Structure 1
Amino acid sequence: MSNSGESSSLRRFKRLNRCINCSDCVVDRGFRDVITELQGHGFIARMPESLLESEHQLTTRQANQSRLVTMCRWVVEVVNGRVKRDFRIFRHVFNNRAAMHLWDDFRICCALLNKFHVVIDNPPEALEYVTIAKNKLELVNHLANYVEAFNIDRRRASFQTIDSNHPHLNTFPRLTITDLKRLALGTYQLKQARSYYGEHVRQSGIYTIEINNEIDDDIPLILGQNNYLLRGRIKSRHVNSRTYYTYLLISNDNVVANTLEAYIGYCCNCLVGRRTVGCCAHIMTVVWYLSWARYNDVTAPASYLDDFFNEYDD
């Protein structure tokens, strides 16, 4: 930062010190450029973690810390969405001629929302999700360690390809939407799951999964026995050539049937796939479909567009 920028930041920090109290939380994406300065003035600053050099995936600790940040940051996305929804001028690229009063217009819009809009509040489950997140913050992902140590991604002979109608999956734990939200610690991954599912079944119309029933000799004892391992392949929405492997370790014990306790472990080889606080969207896609969606007649989004151009050509 330049000297003028530093002095401006210092003045803002002093104003912050005067207007907030101990334990207050301020959420702002702009703070990411001044993390060190914030910490130097006594603030505790958090932001999503970045990859370490030469690494392709966040550690479990890093992924968990990032999830804690996004659990708080959702309110920023909500406010931005309300501004664009209620004020047409901010839905599109701002005209250069109006840029001189852009900040004034934005402040007026925010003042109107603060005055007349319903106050944003935490969902009823917020405290429960926070408790779960704190309890799992230091939880080691033993399944991810096992998958990496034994190079399971490259094993094909150990897994049998089946579809979602295979009799073995009749015992797959059925969950409610409440259970799924508790697993993901929110609804964001649930909203993404249907889109990933649509891409998964678009070519053949069949939801395929891979299963390994003979893992008790290899799996760490800390994960227990009498389990089976499922592997899903979820195509990336951002890179066509990339496919993510998701792993679910499921208990055969009838005592925990159709509960979250039946999910002994899960992991994915995506950026945040080692997290134990919540789960990534790829894991949620497999769990969402096998535990809930296939029983509720769910279809792929916008499936009517798949044959649109073929019909037009005819």
Structure 2
Amino acid sequence: MTITRNYQVSCDGHIVDCLGPYKATTNDASITSLNLCNEESCLRSFFRRGDIFILDRGFRDVINELQRYGFVAHMPESLLENEHQLTTQQANRSRFVTMCRWVVEVVNGRVKRDFRLFRHVFNNRAALHLKNDFRISCALINKFHVVIENPPEALEYVRIAKDRLSLENHLATYVEQANLNRRRVNFQMINSNNPHLDRFPQLTITDLKRLALGTYQLKQATSYYGEHIRQTGIYSIEVNNTLDDDVPLILGLNNYLLRGRIKSRHVNSRTYHTYLLISKDDAVANTLDTIVGYCCSCLIGKRTVGCCAYIMTIVWYLSWGRYNDVTAPASALDNFFQEYDE
């Protein structure tokens, strides 16, 4: 099997060069390394020392080589040995990378959307003209595609991200020290219709985008919510009204703690705990300042630059979804297949 991949994309969505085809067993790092060794390749002839490469984790084995040639490379952080979560600083730096790298995913989507030939496995018999076909498709996209521009809120998101880059997640530290993921006695099961949640802020979509620093997590929230109400029709949450006396003062006063449990979107048997520290202060009611802190037990759950999709699911529903008559996506398919008793 052959594969065409590993192309460079500029910040506005123009494809600078496309490489390949290569054997399907050749990874991104190996492809990049091969082109770095070739002085006539685009990597060596077009790019200059000091140019910045925004990469994914598949390039981790070639980062040092890129740096030796004078390039600046950034990619999401990887787990430290014997750890199950990124640290707050690692997760924050990873969010900085994904805030820039989304352009690549947009271009990938355009290639598959506009050229059906590249949506499926390419027949080896056609591999002789595979590279030409792919280069032509990239040229057509460059000629006719809409230039990708930053959204109007981009500068605001960048400012927020920079301000929160070095911000520690004190709630995550407390959750670990108090071992809250394993404790049940202080948490009471409620549902989203409980009067207690009347204090939860009612936010706008603009507020939610500002919390996530983008729209990706917001788009995921609807699907996650749907998965959790299909069985009972109720969105269940756990609440702790009175924090223990040993809670550090850095978490503030006059707050209450919400805990949610959400299934992983990658592993069916895995469940993540999400925590929200909510202020009872009327002065900040129905604003983002009501959300004092948040954390999750997922890989990137400690970050303070934006939030993970699991946190966003709970915030989205409690602050916006339950006021707007939302339904689970594709709910019409739930009873599509009729079950027959044997």
Could you state the TM-score of these two structures normalised by the residue count of structure 1?
Answer: 0.93
Task: Please state how far the C-alpha of 1:312 moved relative to its aligned partner.
Answer: 7.1
Q: Within 5 A, what are the aligned runs for 1:159-174? A: 159-174=187-202
Task: Please state how far the C-alpha of 1:65 moved relative to its aligned partner.
Answer: 0.8
Does the Cα contact within 8 Å between 1:216 and 1:225 map onto a contact in 2? Answer: no
1:305 aligned partner = 333
Q: Within 5 A, what are the aligned runs for 1:150-229? A: 150-215=178-243, 217-229=245-257
CA distance in 2, matches of 1:4, 1:126: 36
Q: Within 5 A, what are the aligned runs for 1:77-116? A: 77-116=105-144
CA distance in 2, matches of 1:182, 1:9: 44
Does the Cα contact within 8 Å between 2:55 and 2:74 map onto a contact in 1? Answer: no
Structure 1 pair 9–308 and aligned structure 2 pair: CA distance change class (3 A): farther
1:58 aligned partner = 86
CA distance in 1, matches of 2:44, 2:52: 16
SS of the residue corresponding to residue 72 of structure 2 reads coil
- Alignment of 1:128 onto 2:156: yes
- 1:275 counterpart (299, 303, 321): 303
For 1:217, give the aligned amino acid. Answer: D
- Alignment of 1:14 onto 2:44: yes
Task: Point out which structure has higher relative CO (alpha carbons under 8 A, 6+ apart).
Answer: 1
For 1:286, give the aligned amino acid. Answer: I
Structure 1 pair 274–83 and aligned structure 2 pair: CA distance change class (3 A): same
- Alignment of 1:242 onto 2:270: yes
Structure 1 pair 77–280 and aligned structure 2 pair: CA distance change class (3 A): same
Structure 1 stretches of 5 or more lacking a match?
none
CA distance in 1, matches of 2:157, 2:311: 18
The structure in which a higher percent of residues are strand is 2
Task: Please state how far the C-alpha of 1:100 moved relative to its aligned partner.
Answer: 2.2
SS of the residue corresponding to residue 73 of structure 2 reads coil
Task: Please state how far the C-alpha of 1:14 moved relative to its aligned partner.
Answer: 3.2
CA distance in 2, matches of 1:237, 1:285: 12
Task: Please state how far the C-alpha of 1:42 moved relative to its aligned partner.
Answer: 2.3
CA distance in 1, matches of 2:110, 2:320: 31
CA distance in 2, matches of 1:220, 1:199: 35
Does the Cα contact within 8 Å between 1:212 and 1:229 map onto a contact in 2? Answer: yes
Structure 1 pair 26–16 and aligned structure 2 pair: CA distance change class (3 A): farther
CA distance in 1, matches of 2:261, 2:47: 49
For 1:245, give the aligned amino acid. Answer: H
Task: Please state how far the C-alpha of 1:310 moved relative to its aligned partner.
Answer: 3.4
1:45 aligned partner = 73
CA distance in 2, matches of 1:91, 1:128: 36
Does the Cα contact within 8 Å between 1:65 and 1:137 map onto a contact in 2? Answer: yes
Which segment drifts farther, 65-74 or 41-50? 41-50
SS of the residue corresponding to residue 310 of structure 1 reads coil
CA distance in 1, matches of 2:317, 2:251: 24
Could you state the TM-score of these two structures normalised by the residue count of structure 2?
Answer: 0.85
For 1:8, give the aligned amino acid. Answer: N
Two-structure CA RMSD over aligned residues (Å):
2.2
Aligned residues: 311
Q: Identity over the aligned pairs, expressed in percent? A: 73
Deviations 1:129-184 (A, max 9, x none): 11111111111000000000010111111011111111111110011000001101
Does the Cα contact within 8 Å between 1:27 and 1:76 map onto a contact in 2? Answer: no
Does the Cα contact within 8 Å between 1:13 and 1:41 map onto a contact in 2? Answer: no
CA distance in 2, matches of 1:75, 1:261: 30
Structure 1 pair 79–5 and aligned structure 2 pair: CA distance change class (3 A): closer
For 1:164, give the aligned amino acid. Answer: S
Structure 1 pair 11–82 and aligned structure 2 pair: CA distance change class (3 A): closer
Structure 2 stretches of 5 or more lacking a match?
1-29
Structure 1 pair 226–216 and aligned structure 2 pair: CA distance change class (3 A): farther
Structure 1 stretches of 4+ with a deviation exceeding 3 A read: 1-6, 9-14, 24-33, 310-314
Does the Cα contact within 8 Å between 1:200 and 1:234 map onto a contact in 2? Answer: yes
